[in-house]
Structure 1
């Protein structure tokens, strides 16, 4: 039974070849179960400790997620998905950003504390 946050068979078939190969040593937990747990965590927005036990230990999920992020696995998945969607004509690469809605705190621009008073007192 595929649950709401889990990968379909078609999604798994697409992602599986992009995962790092098994290495020597202790066999790792099932990649599909781990990836479904990671997907659950980010789609549900819960904490790692709240991931259902059916996906395995939350600590193992967290470790695998960090490892795959560090070794570029998630980047490979994104690039492959973008390439596939682009080839199918499903992506419109035209992007427009309206900076009038981007707000920054006054200190983000290097403003001094105290405003004009601070500038007068800094003069020699």
Structure 2
């Protein structure tokens, strides 16, 4: 399993199939500090949404809570979650079976009426390839 084998898969975390659909939409890492693994952070977001805990109470296995929160905000502003939910088609896969996310309800803390930020030099970084 890519990215989650060191702690095992919990019921609310992404399956390999879900990760394969979501991974190409995640912005690439920029240069700088070593980055907390994307799948680990996304699983932290799913855990937070499903359990409705505060960001600061996020278990350490998902990385620093500030990292998970910052990426959650960034991905929400870039429309990553919207694009992910648009990719989910009946018969292909249903996000929500293990993550608690569904097509009809976006994460409650995602901004819904805030327009996306203006693109700087080509907009958000390109998606990951693997």
Same fold (TM over 0.5): yes
Q: For this structure pair, what is the TM-score category when the shorter chain's length is used for normalisation?
A: 0.5 to 0.7
CA displacement, residues 31-81 of structure 1 (integer Å, 9 cap, x when unaligned): 000000000000011110111011011111110100000111111111111
Which of the pair has the greater relative contact order for Cα pairs under 8 Å at 6+ separation? 2
CA distance in 1, matches of 2:62, 2:33: 19
CA RMSD of aligned residues (A): 1.8
Structure 2 unaligned regions, length at least 5: 1-7, 94-130
| Number of aligned residue pairs | 86
TM-score of the superposed pair, with normalisation by structure 2: 0.61
CA distance in 1, matches of 2:66, 2:32: 19
Match of 1:19 in 2: 26
CA displacement, residues 11-45 of structure 1 (integer Å, 9 cap, x when unaligned): 11111111112233334211000000000000011
Match of 2:10 in 1: 3
Higher helix proportion, which one? 1
TM-score of the superposed pair, with normalisation by structure 1: 0.63
Structure 1 unaligned regions, length at least 5: 91-124
